[in-house]
Structure 1
Amino acid sequence: MRDINFLTENNAKPIWHPMAHPAEMRATPPRIIMKGNGVEVTDIDGRTVLDAVGGLWNVNLGYSCDPIKQAIAAQLDALPYYSGFRGTSTGPSIELAFELCDWFAPEGMVRAFFTSGGSDSVETALRLSRQYWKIRGQGDRTKFLALKKGYHGTHFGGASVNGNANFRRNYEPLMPGVFHTPAPWTYRNPFEETDPVKLAKLCARAIEDEIAFQGGDTIAAFIMEPVLGAGGVIVPHESFMPMVRAICDRHEILLIADEVVTGFGRTGAWSGSRLSGVKPDFMTIAKAITSGYFPLGATLIGAKVAEVFEADKTSFGAIGHGYTYSGHPVGCAAGLAALAETKRLALHDNAAARGDELGRALEALKAKHALVGDVRYIGLMAALELVSDRAAKKPADKKTMNAVADAAYAAGVMLRVSGNTVILSPPLVISSADVVKIAEALDAGLTAAA
C-alpha cells in the first residue's frame, strides 16, 4: 500500500463517494479508515472509535470474525470463482441456498436467487414480480406500490420505488407505473396523527384508496421495509404489516418484503416479517448475509411464486436475468460462515437486549436536549431526529448535524448523519458498556452543537 502521505494527499481526488457531492468531498475530505477490530475502527491518524454505524447496517459480527475470514481463504484456494450462467452450480451456492430456505422457512421462502447486494436483490424481485403475472396471463399487472420514506436501493427499479426525493430527483424520469402512499410515521405524516394504531389504519386505508384508483388488476406488487431504515428508522405499529398483507391478498397483489437491513437479527427477530408474523411473496436480503465481508445478496421466493414458475411450460417462465457474480462461491462460503456464527451467538437476542438499553438512553437524551425532536428504535436500529424548534418540528441544519457527528467522533464514536437525523446501527455483538459509550458520545455531540 502507498504511504500515508500519498493517501492523505489524494483522498477524495480520484474517487467519487456514494451519497455525497464530489465538490464537497474534495473541499472537506472524508475520514480515512485503515483498520477494524471487534466493534471499533481506526483511522489514518491512529484514532480508534466505536463504529455505531456498523459499516452500513451490515457488520453485524464486528470486524474480527475469524470463521468468515477462514472460510473466504479456504474457498479462494479451492475455487475462487465460477459462473452460474451455463447451468452450473458450486458447492457453497447449493449449501447457502439450502441454509437460507431453511432459515426463512417460517416466512414461507422456498427458493433463492443470488445477487451481489441489496440493490440487485430489489431489482430481481421487481422483475420476477412482473414476470410472474406474465406467466399467469395477466400482463397488465405492471405497476408497483411503495411507501413514502422507503428506501430500496439505487438501480432504476429500486430508485423508482424509493419514497425519498433525495434519491430520486437527480435521476428522473424514473420507471413509470410506481405509486407511493404515506408511511406510518408518527412524528411527521399528512394525517397529523400521533397514535400509532390509528395511523397504521389510516395508512392502510390510503393503500386501499390507491389500489381502487389504479385498479388492483394493474398492480404487480407492493414493496415495503418492515422497518424503514434509511428513511429515518420509522417503526410501524405491529398491526401495519399484517394489514398490508391482508390488503395484498384481497387484491391478489404480491408482497415484497425488503429485508436488506432487517434480516438476520437487527430488529431483535430473525426478520422484520417474522417480527410482524407475515409471510411475504418475496424477501430481499444482503448486508448481514456475510456481515459485510463479501458483496453478496439474494432474492428469496415464496412457494406460491415458485410453483407458478416451475409449472410453466412456455418461454415466459425462463429467467432472463442474472449477474456475473450470482452465487459467487467465495461469497457463499462467507455467507455460510457468517450465518453459522450469527446463529451460534443468537445475535437477535443480543440485539433485542442491547436495543432496549440503547432506547432508554436515547429517551433520556431527548429529555435532556431540546435539539432532539424525536427518537425511534427497535432492536439495534435507532434514530434521533434533530430540530431547531421542537414546537414547529423545524429540522436542524447541516452545520448542527456535522457538529454533533464531529463532537461524538472526538468522544470516541462514529455516527451516521442523514439529513436532520442521526442513525445508529451498531454491530449486533456490542456490549452494554458499548451502549453506554454511544450514549455518552451522543450527549457530548448534542451538548457541543447546542
Structure 2
Amino acid sequence: MKNKNFLKENNARHLWHPMAHPADSLANPPDIIVEGDGVMITDVDGHRTVDAVGGLWNVNLGYSCDPVKAAIAAQLDKLPYYSIFRGTTNDAVIELSEMLKDFFAPDGLSRAFFTSGGSDSVEIALRLARQYHKIRGEAGRVKYLSLKKGYHGTHTLGASVNGNANFRTQYEPLMPGCYHIPAPYTYRNPFNETDPEKLAGLCLAALEDEIRFQGAETIAAMIMEPVLGAGGVIPPHESFMPGVREICSRYGILLIADEVITAFGRTGSWTGSRHWGVKPDMMTTAKAITNGYFPFGAVMISDQVAETFETDKTGKGAIGSGYTYSGHPVGAAAAIACLKETERLAVKDNAGARGAQLYEGLVALKEKYEVIGDVRGGHGLMCALELVSDRAAKSPIDKPTIGKVHRTTYENGAMIRVSGNNIILSPPLVLGAEHVETILAALDTGFAAIS
C-alpha cells in the first residue's frame, strides 16, 4: 500500500466517484478504507468502525469470509478465465447453475443467465422479457412498468425504469415506453394515504389503470423490488406484491423481481419475493451472490419462460445478449463458496433477529429527536431514517445538517450511508447484537450534534 500522505494527497484528484459530484469529492475527500475484517472497517488513519452499509448492500458475510477467499484463490490457480459464449463452458459455472436451481426452487426459478453485476442483470431481464413475447408472436409487447422510487441500476434500460429523478434527469431522454406507478410509500404519496393496506390498494388500482390505458397487449413486463432499497427502504404492505403478481398474470405481463439487494437473506427470508409468497417470472440477482468479493450476477428464470425459449423452432429464441465476463469461472467459484456459507450460517435468521433489534432502536431514536420524520424497516437488515427540518411539513433536511450527522456518526463508530435526506442502513448479515448497539449509540451521538 502507498503511504498515507500519498493517498491523502491524491484522494479524488484523478478518480471520479460513482453517484457523486466530482467537485464535492475534491472539496470533501472520501474516507479512505484500507482494511476490513468481520463487520468492521478501518480507514487510512487507523479509525475502526462498524460498517452499517455492508459495502453497498453486498458484504453479507463480512470482510473475512475465508471459504470464499480460498475458493477464489484455488480457481485462479486452476482456470482464471474462459468464455461461456456458444461452444464452450467451464465446470464451476455448471456446478453453480445446479446449486442456484435448488436454492431458488421455492421461487419457481430453475435457469440462470450469468452477468457481471446488478445493472447487467436488469438489462438482461428486460431484454429477455421483450424476446419472450416475440417468440410467442406478441411482438407488440415492448413497454415496461415500474415503481416510482424504485432503483434498477445504471444501464440505459435500467435507468429508464428507475423511479428516482436523481438517476435519470442528467441522462434524458432515456428509453421510450417506460411508465411509472406510485410506490406504496406511506410517508409520502400522491394519495395522502397513511394506512399501508389502503395505500397498497390504491397503488394496485393505479397499476391496473395504467395497463388499461397503455393496452395490455403493448406491455412486456413489470419490474419491481420486493422492498424498495436505494429509494429509501420502502417496505410495502403484505398485500402489495401478491396483488402485482395477480394483475400481471391476468394481463399476460411478465413480473421481474429485482432482487439485486434482497436475495440471499437480507429481508429475513431467502428472497424478498418469498417473503411475500410470490413467484416471479424472472429475478435479478448480484451483490451478495459473491459477498462483494467478485463482480458477478445472475438472472434467474422460471420454468414457463424457459420452456418458451427452449422449445422455440423459429430461431427467435437465440439469445443475442451476454458479456465477456458472463459465467466467469472465478466468480462462479466465489458464488459456490458464498452460497454454501450463506446457507450454513443461516444468515436470514440472524438478519431477522438483528434487523428487529436495529429497527426497535431506531424507533426509540425517533422519539428522542424531532429531526427524524420517519423510520422504515422491520424486514431484516435494511432500515432507513428520513430526516426533516419540520415534522408537520415533512420538509427535507438540508445537506450540511445531514452531512454533520454522517460525519459525527462515523467518528463515533459507525459508517452509514446518506441518500438525499435519508440515512440508509444495510449492515452485513453476520452482525452481532453488540454491533447493533454500537450503530445505535453512534447515531444517537450524531443526532445530538445537531440538536
TM bracket, shorter-chain basis? over 0.9
User: C-alpha offsets along residues 93-132 of structure 1, whole Å, 9 cap, x if unaligned?
Assistant: 0111111111011111010000000000000000000000
The one-letter code sitting in structure 2 at the alignment partner of 1:255 is L
Offset of residue 339 of structure 1: 0.7
2-side partners of 1:117 and 1:60: how far apart?
Answer: 16
The one-letter code sitting in structure 2 at the alignment partner of 1:449 is I
Aligned position for 2:392: 391
The range that moved more, 122-131 or 93-102, is 93-102
Aligned position for 1:442: 443
Alignment partner of 1:316: what SS? Answer: coil
User: C-alpha offsets along residues 32-84 of structure 1, whole Å, 9 cap, x if unaligned?
Assistant: 00000110100001101110000000000000100000000000000000001
User: C-alpha offsets along residues 163-182 of structure 1, whole Å, 9 cap, x if unaligned?
Assistant: 00000000000000000010
Percent pairwise identity: 68
Matches within 5 A, 1:285-300: 285-300=285-300
1-side partners of 2:119 and 2:96: how far apart?
Answer: 20
Aligned position for 2:76: 76
Aligned position for 2:151: 151
Aligned position for 1:22: 22
User: C-alpha offsets along residues 386-438 of structure 1, whole Å, 9 cap, x if unaligned?
Assistant: 00000000011101110111010111110000000000000000011111111
The one-letter code sitting in structure 1 at the alignment partner of 2:13 is K
Alignment partner of 2:71: what SS? Answer: helix
2-side partners of 1:414 and 1:252: how far apart?
Answer: 44
Is 1:130 the counterpart of 2:127? The answer is no
Offset of residue 86 of structure 1: 3.5
Aligned position for 1:234: 234
Aligned position for 1:340: 340
Offset of residue 6 of structure 1: 1.5
The one-letter code sitting in structure 2 at the alignment partner of 1:103 is F
Aligned position for 1:321: 321
Is 1:312 the counterpart of 2:312? The answer is yes
The one-letter code sitting in structure 1 at the alignment partner of 2:447 is L
Aligned position for 2:163: 163
Alignment partner of 1:317: what SS? Answer: coil
Alignment partner of 1:61: what SS? Answer: coil
The one-letter code sitting in structure 2 at the alignment partner of 1:317 is G
1-side partners of 2:369 and 2:33: how far apart?
Answer: 31
Aligned position for 2:428: 427
Alignment partner of 1:85: what SS? Answer: coil
The one-letter code sitting in structure 1 at the alignment partner of 2:435 is D
The one-letter code sitting in structure 1 at the alignment partner of 2:381 is L
Offset of residue 2 of structure 1: 2.5
Aligned position for 2:180: 180
Offset of residue 201 of structure 1: 0.4
Aligned position for 1:353: 353
Offset of residue 3 of structure 1: 2.2
The one-letter code sitting in structure 2 at the alignment partner of 1:365 is L
Aligned position for 2:141: 141
Offset of residue 287 of structure 1: 0.4
Offset of residue 449 of structure 1: 2.0
1-side partners of 2:367 and 2:86: how far apart?
Answer: 60
Alignment partner of 2:449: what SS? Answer: helix
Aligned position for 1:197: 197
2-side partners of 1:411 and 1:80: how far apart?
Answer: 41
Aligned position for 2:406: 405
2-side partners of 1:230 and 1:243: how far apart?
Answer: 23
Alignment partner of 1:45: what SS? Answer: coil
Offset of residue 89 of structure 1: 1.3
TM-score (norm 1): 0.99
User: C-alpha offsets along residues 343-378 of structure 1, whole Å, 9 cap, x if unaligned?
Assistant: 000000000000110111011000000000000002
2-side partners of 1:107 and 1:42: how far apart?
Answer: 38
Offset of residue 278 of structure 1: 0.4
Alignment partner of 2:316: what SS? Answer: helix
The one-letter code sitting in structure 2 at the alignment partner of 1:236 is P
Alignment partner of 1:315: what SS? Answer: coil
2-side partners of 1:410 and 1:34: how far apart?
Answer: 16
Alignment partner of 1:82: what SS? Answer: coil
Aligned-pair Cα RMSD in Å: 0.6
Matches within 5 A, 1:216-235: 216-235=216-235
1-side partners of 2:99 and 2:401: how far apart?
Answer: 45
2-side partners of 1:78 and 1:284: how far apart?
Answer: 29
Aligned position for 2:58: 58
Is 1:368 the counterpart of 2:359? The answer is no
Offset of residue 85 of structure 1: 1.2
Offset of residue 315 of structure 1: 1.9
The one-letter code sitting in structure 1 at the alignment partner of 2:448 is T
1-side partners of 2:177 and 2:53: how far apart?
Answer: 34
Offset of residue 5 of structure 1: 1.7
Offset of residue 240 of structure 1: 0.3
The one-letter code sitting in structure 2 at the alignment partner of 1:9 is E
Alignment partner of 2:429: what SS? Answer: coil
Aligned residue-pair number: 450
The range that moved more, 86-95 or 416-425, is 86-95
The one-letter code sitting in structure 1 at the alignment partner of 2:24 is E
Unaligned runs of at least 5 residues, structure 1: none
Aligned position for 2:110: 110
2-side partners of 1:304 and 1:397: how far apart?
Answer: 49
The one-letter code sitting in structure 1 at the alignment partner of 2:127 is R
Aligned position for 2:121: 121
The one-letter code sitting in structure 2 at the alignment partner of 1:150 is G
Aligned position for 1:245: 245
Alignment partner of 2:423: what SS? Answer: strand
Alignment partner of 1:300: what SS? Answer: strand
1-side partners of 2:69 and 2:81: how far apart?
Answer: 17
The one-letter code sitting in structure 1 at the alignment partner of 2:306 is A
1-side partners of 2:302 and 2:87: how far apart?
Answer: 22
Aligned position for 1:39: 39
2-side partners of 1:180 and 1:333: how far apart?
Answer: 38
User: C-alpha offsets along residues 185-240 of structure 1, whole Å, 9 cap, x if unaligned?
Assistant: 00000000000000000000000000010000000000000000000000001110
The one-letter code sitting in structure 2 at the alignment partner of 1:88 is T
